[in-house]
Structure 1
Amino acid sequence: MEVFTVCVAFLSLFVSVISAFSQSLDSDFTFILPAGRKECFFQSMKKDASLEIEYQVLDGAGLDVDFYMHSPSGHILAFDHRKSDGVHTVETEDGDYMFCFDNTFSAVSEKMIFFELILDNVDEGEKSEDWKAYVQGPDLLDMKLEDIMDTINSVKARLGKSLQIQTVLKAFEARDRNLQESNYERVNMWSCTNLVIMVIVSGVQVYLLRSLFDDKRKIHT
């Protein structure tokens, strides 16, 4: 009975420790940017944190877009002119960061854009120490809560990194697929055009050759 009580207490403590950890703040989005339009997004950040943004143009003529990022004070931190992808990392201060995708240079083609936000050192400090409030008495089953926390953080970091890599690879795959489909349609169109032109030219050549060998003397007789 005592072993069962200890196990229940340990499981309750383990769940409490897990619930004390902050959730992953990484996020990714895919959206359509119409021709001649600009879309801006905002992200609130705290001082001494890190903000990383990675973007890719998945579909659209030219596979390019203008990108720029503004600090809370209005300074331009990054600017890309008509690029298909990019990665930018900044050390943040308190305030809202604005980053925009600009397709105003294109009057016809819309763009499909994927971007991912990776936030580090956000909402840490007091929350990282909340689990200590659940510690009462000696360590249960001679296990150190510091070791448990380190293990969970390590697993969480690796899972987050794996998810990030898989998301980026999916974006690359979608971009390559759209590019191949576009090239396939272009090749088919030009192949059909060349075929029609060759048939017309062949017909003209046959007509000219036959007209050269016609016996016009039969007409006078």
Structure 2
Amino acid sequence: MGPRLLLVPLGCLALLLPPGAAEFSPSLDSDFTFTLPAGRKECFYQPMRKEASLELEYQVLDGAGLDVDFHLLSPKGETLVFDERKSDGVHTVETEDGDYMFCFDNTFSTISEKVIFFELILDNMGEDGQDEEDWKKYVTGTDLLDMKLEDILESINSVKARLSKSVQIQTLLRAFEARDRNIQESNFDRVNFWSMVNLGVMVVVSAVQVYMLKSLFEDKRKSRT
């Protein structure tokens, strides 16, 4: 696998990465959470096979506005998906041989960094077919305990798919929980700040009112001797 380019927004500089520096292993399910600084753009690469499926879901967990720009490019450099100022998104594409690049862009923000979670789900990567061939090497007949080999494989694949779906849903629920917690903590700090401001204003107004009432009852006439 040759070297890859990681695009950096500052000055449109391209850095040459060593093999595998921003690449995920060809597992069926991968997730990652990272912090994207203000004014920066981060890109990742995922190698894919022909006639496979790539599903990518992302969420902005923390940061002002909870939004980010998202790009998904094909191995030929064609833009497949572009989301502008979105807080989350789900995209599925049928792939060809090559490295797919997806980028998260926070260059529109000059102050706030963003905490971003994304998950990759890869289907039809060719591993299941190899597993079936491995099974068939150890089975000489067409039946095994009155069950066909295809029925056993179908049951195993069904259980595997359901377990993978359960793990995916749990991961997404944790991401939603983290984002909701960050929003609640931000609202809590904001309420405390404005409560202190209101308390300070009330104290100042009370002091002014006491002073004004006191000045109304003061006898300013000078006594003559």
Q: CA deviation at 1:219?
A: 6.2
Deviates more, 1:134-143 or 1:146-155: 134-143
Percent of pairs identical after alignment?
75
Map 1:64-83 to 2 at 5 A: 64-83=67-86
In structure 2, distance between residues paired with 1:144 and 1:194? 75
In structure 2, the partner of 1:148 is: 152
In structure 2, distance between residues paired with 1:147 and 1:27? 29
* Structure 1 pair 37–215 and aligned structure 2 pair: CA distance change class (3 A): same
In structure 1, distance between residues paired with 2:169 and 2:163? 10
Structure having the larger proportion of residues in strand: 2
In structure 2, distance between residues paired with 1:162 and 1:125? 19
Residue number among 128, 131, 135 corresponding to 2:135 in the alignment: 131
For structure 1, the 5+ residue unaligned runs are: 1-22
Corresponding position: 1:109 with 2:106: no
Residue number among 157, 163, 166 corresponding to 1:159 in the alignment: 163
For structure 2, the 5+ residue unaligned runs are: 1-25
Aligned positions, number:
199
Of structures 1 and 2, the larger Rg is shown by: 1
Deviates more, 1:131-140 or 1:187-196: 131-140
Contact 2:142 2:149 in 1 (8 A): no
Structure having the larger proportion of residues in helix: 1
| Structure 1 residue runs of 4 or more that deviate by more than 6 Å after TM superposition | none
Structure 1 length-normalised TM: 0.84
Counterpart amino acid of 2:78? H
In structure 2, distance between residues paired with 1:88 and 1:122? 18
* Structure 1 pair 177–219 and aligned structure 2 pair: CA distance change class (3 A): farther
Q: CA deviation at 1:215?
A: 1.2
Kindly provide the CA deviation profile for residues 180-208 of structure 1, in whole angstroms up to 9, marking residues without a partner as x. 00100010011001110111111112212
Corresponding position: 1:62 with 2:61: no
* Structure 1 pair 219–189 and aligned structure 2 pair: CA distance change class (3 A): farther
SS in 2 for 1:217: coil
In structure 1, the partner of 2:41 is: 38
Map 1:1-221 to 2 at 5 A: 25-124=28-127, 126-127=129-130, 128-137=132-141, 139-218=143-222
